[in-house]
Amino acid sequence: MATVFVIRRTLSLLLASVVAVPLMACSTIEGMNPFATAKYKTTIDPIVPPDDIYNQGLARLNKNDDSGATKEFSKLDSQYPFSKYAEKGALMTAYSQYRDGKYDDAVGSANLYYNKYPNSPDAPYALYLAAMSYYNQIPDISRDQEVTRKARELFQQIVQKFPQSPYATEAKFKIQVTSDQLAGKEMSVGRYYLVRREYPAAINRFRAVLSDYQRTRETEEALERLTEAYLALGLPNEAETAAAVLGHNYPDSVWYKDAYARLKGGGFSPQEDQGSWISKTAHAIGLS
C-alpha cells in the first residue's frame, strides 16, 4: 500500500507541475509582450490612378532618377495588369533600366515586352533596347565576345522582321560593327595558332571569318593567312586559290602583295581552283 501511495503522490506532483508551467509561461509571455497595450488601426493605401503613376515615372526620368522611374513604371503591371498603361509601363521599365546602366535588367524587361506584345508598334524598339544593352557591354577583343554575338543577332532580327522601322538603318550599321568585332576575335585566335604552328586550328578560325563575317575589314588578312597556313601544310592548291581570290578582289591590298610574294618564293602563283572550299565560299558571299 505504501508503494501505491508513493506512486499516486508522485503522479499528483507531476500533474501539478505540468499545469503550473503553462500558467507561469503565459504569465511571463504576457508580461514581456511589447504589444500588449498597443492599439491597432486599419489603414488603406490610397488608390493612385494609372496615369498618375505613369506621369510620376516620367517626372523621375526628367530628374534623372532612373531607378525611381523604374519603380514607378513597374507598379503599372502589378496594379493595372490589363490596362494600356501596363503595356506602356513595361516598355518604359526597360528604357529606364537601360538609361540607368542596368543592362541585364533592361534586356530581361525588353524581351518580356517583346514576347508579350509582339504586334505592338513599339516591338522593334523593345528589340533595339535589348540589342543596345548588349552592345554597350562589348568588351575588348581579347575577351569573350558572347555579348557581341547576342547584340548582332538582335540587330539582325530588327532588320529581318522590321525592315521599315526607324531602327533598321542603325541596326545595319551596328551589324557591321559587331561583325568586325567578332571577325577580329577570330583573327586574333587564328594568329595565335599560326604562330604556334597549329595550322589546322588556325585555318578553322580564318575560315570562320570568310563564312560568317563576310565583307568585314578582316577578310583581306584572312585570305593572306590562309595562303600562309596552307603553304606551311604543303597544300599549295588551296594556298594558290586563297591568293587568287584575294588578288581578284583586293588587287592593291598589302595583304595580296604579301601572299603573292609567299607563293612566288615557293615556286607557285595565284590561280583559283573552282572546287576549293575557298572558291565556293567566295562566290557564295559575293567575292569572285
**Residue 235 Cα distances to 205, 208, 226, 227, angstroms:** 17, 19, 11, 9
Q: What share of the chain is helix, strand, coil (3-state, %, to 5)?
A: 70, 0, 30
Could you tell me the fold of the domain covering 50-137? 1.25.40
- The predicted model scores a pTM of 0.80
- pLDDT per position in the chain (288 positions), as tens? 433 333 333 334 333 333 333 433 333 434 445 554 555 565 555 789 999 999 999 999 999 999 999 999 999 999 999 999 999 999 999 999 999 999 999 999 999 999 999 999 999 999 999 999 999 999 999 999 999 999 999 999 999 999 999 999 999 999 999 999 999 999 999 999 999 999 999 999 999 999 999 889 999 999 999 999 999 999 999 999 999 999 999 999 999 999 999 999 999 999 999 999 999 999 998 887
Q: How far apart are CA 151 and CA 153, in angstroms?
A: 5
CATH number of 181-284: 1.25.40.10
What is the chain's length? 288
Domain coordinates in residue numbering, the chain: 50-137, 181-284
Let me know the angle formed at the C-alpha of 43 by 41 and 49, rounded to the nearest 5 degrees: 175
Please determine whether the domains at 50-137 and 181-284 fall in the same fold group of CATH: yes
